[in-house]
Amino acid sequence: MRYWMMLAASVLSANALAAEPDGTKFWGSVVVDDQHIVSYYLTVPPGERAALSLGSGYSLQFESAPNGGSSGEAKVSLLDKKSKPLHERSMPGASPMNLSGAYAVCRGSVVYISPAPSEPASCDD
């Protein structure tokens, strides 16, 4: 019995220490007119896309770089209410990679800061 408990604990420990999933890690924040703040952290599998609705009519679209030796790029796009890109940031390379940034949408203007600061951007900055 004791052997099985130790074996189970070893397997659980090995799983807990396993590497994070491959893909592109995106993190940062979006501030809209200092009223709506969204922080995000996600990993998108290699070669795939994801989207995040910001609840203020804006959205973020994430594209992960391909895996391994494939050349490509990771991209994050801020889209307006009509899905028109307001800003796009891309980084060449292959997964795994990291891409961080912060957006401030202030009175219709977009400011992008990379890498993402520890605190969300502000319209007063």
**Statement: residue 9 has pLDDT above 60:** no
What is the radius of gyration, based on Cα positions, of the chain? Answer: 18
The Cα–Cα gap between 90 and 2 comes to 52
pLDDT of amino acid 125? 63
The Cα–Cα gap between 74 and 23 comes to 10
**Statement: residue 37 has pLDDT above 80:** yes
Asked if the peptide bond before residue 96 counts as cis, ω within 30 degrees of 0, the response is: yes
pLDDT in tens, 73-118: 899 999 998 999 999 999 887 777 888 999 999 988 999 999 888 8
Task: Give the predicted TM-score (pTM) of the model.
Answer: 0.76
Q: 9 near 50, Cβ under 8 Å?
A: no
**Statement: residue 42 has pLDDT above 90:** yes
Which residues of 12-96 form beta strands (DSSP E)? 24-32, 36-44, 49-53, 59-63, 73-79, 85-92
pLDDT of amino acid 15? 44
* Closest C-alpha among 74, 89, 97, 76 to residue 22: 97
**Statement: residue 2 has pLDDT above 60:** no
